[in-house]
């Protein structure tokens, strides 16, 4: 019985961490290019409602995920145009993007709220899924494995490729990168759009897998946790992965604690993931060197080639 409960907790933790991994890795790429996009929550919600509507009407979750990526990427492109081309303040524009995404998703999804959808089903990998003890590790849905592939791809891109080196150079010193012929604005555009696409996937996972239905505001602050994860990870992909599973585990454990009948108000238990986020950030920020050594030097700063 205890073994079954442990397996259930591990599976639920992986599912809870998956949207955080997608959103946080996308934001990490944007921030390594020097762009701070606080609109992750809004892009996730737009991705969630788009995937639900397209998936439920077409019967194809693949089309739903493609639609979610495109919709969130368009929002990211709007953010990029305002901040990179028109040179608006990145913090204010990101907050506005979140509010816009929350309102837009609520408006688009007002007629489908609460309706069910046939969500993602776990894979059944022959032979491996039948293994004793570890067989459950091969019963996750494709997006869980996709998040691990995305982690590897981002890590490899940043650490081992020429394009990743260019992106990091743009994040550290856009003026120097521009002086040696690098297209700073184009690189930042692509980084922001990548972050939008992954946020769309994260939102789509919420409405088609984690909770297979559309509910207004269903991201419930996960976009903000993804932003915090990037700082928690000090802009390193591996720490993003570990942090996502940590926060996913806290989320799942508070749900199981309620199920076990612990005499703790449910509101207090529901606060735990967010309290954990604040505590971790406070602990990290006590040592400014940890942040300053890894934070992109130009993060949040506007750049214009003519300046």
Q: The domain that contains 192 carries what CATH number?
A: 1.10.3470
Task: Answer whether residue 246 is part of any domain.
Answer: yes
Could you tell me which residues come within 8 angstroms of residue 99 by beta carbon, excluding any fewer than 6 positions away? 42
Residue 274 pLDDT level (bands cut at 50, 70, 90) = confident
Within-domain flag for 307: no
Between CA 118 and CA 121 the distance in angstroms is: 9
Please report whether residue 300 resides in a domain: no
Which is more confident, 32 or 128?
A: 32
CA 258 from centre of chain? 26
Length of the chain: 307
Q: What's the number of domains the chain is made of? A: 1
Asked if the structure places residue 305 within a domain, the reply is no
Asked if residue 68 is part of any domain, the answer here is yes
Q: CA-CA distances (angstroms) from residue 287 to 231, 279, 283, 295?
A: 13, 14, 8, 13
pTM reported for the whole predicted model: 0.93
The mean pLDDT of 205-221, rounded to a whole number, is 91
Task: Please name the residues in contact with 231: beta carbons below 8 A apart, sequence gap of 6 or more.
Answer: 281, 284, 291
- Domain presence at residue 298: no
Print the domain residue range for 246. Answer: 2-292
What are the b/e assignments for 172-207, b being 16+ CB within 10 Å?
Answer: bbbeebbeeebebbebbbbbbbbbbbbbbbbbbbbb
For the chain, the average pLDDT equals: 88
Structure confidence by residue, pLDDT tens digits, 129-178: 767 777 777 878 899 999 999 999 999 999 999 999 999 999 999 999 99
Residue 99 confidence (pLDDT) above 80:
yes
């Amino acid at each position: 019985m205890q073994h079954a409960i442990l397996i259930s907790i591990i599976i639920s933790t992986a599912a809870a961490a998956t949207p955080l991994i997608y959103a946080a890795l996308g934001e990490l790429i944007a921030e390594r290019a020097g762009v701070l996009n606080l609109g992750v929550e809004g892009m996730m919600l737009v991705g969630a409602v788009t995937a639900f509507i397209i998936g439920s009407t077409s019967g194809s979750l693949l089309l739903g995920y493609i639609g979610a990526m495109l919709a969130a990427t368009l929002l990211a492109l709007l953010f990029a145009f305002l901040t990179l081309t028109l040179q608006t303040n990145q913090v204010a524009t990101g907050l506005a993007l979140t509010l816009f995404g929350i309102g837009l998703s609520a408006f688009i999804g007002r007629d489908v709220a609460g309706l069910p959808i046939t969500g993602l089903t776990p894979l059944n990998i022959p032979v491996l899924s039948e293994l004793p003890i570890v067989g459950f590790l091969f019963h996750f849905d494709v997006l869980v494995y996709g998040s691990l592939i995305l982690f590897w791809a981002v890590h490899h891109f940043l650490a081992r490729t020429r394009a990743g080196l260019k992106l990091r150079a743009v994040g550290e010193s856009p003026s120097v990168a521009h002086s040696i012929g690098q297209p700073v604005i184009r690189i930042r555009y692509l980084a922001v759009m990548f972050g939008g696409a992954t946020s769309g996937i994260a939102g789509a996972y919420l409405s088609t897998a984690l909770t297979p239905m559309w509910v207004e505001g269903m991201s419930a602050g996960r976009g903000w946790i993804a932003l915090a994860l990037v700082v928690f990870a000090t802009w390193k992909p591996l720490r993003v992965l570990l942090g996502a599973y940590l926060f996913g585990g806290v989320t799942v454990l508070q749900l199981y604690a309620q199920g076990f009948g612990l005499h703790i108000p449910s509101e207090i238990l529901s606060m735990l993931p967010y309290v954990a986020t604040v505590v971790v950030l406070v602990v990290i920020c006590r040592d400014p060197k940890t942040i300053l050594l890894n934070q992109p030097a130009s993060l949040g700063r506007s750049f214009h080639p003519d300046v």
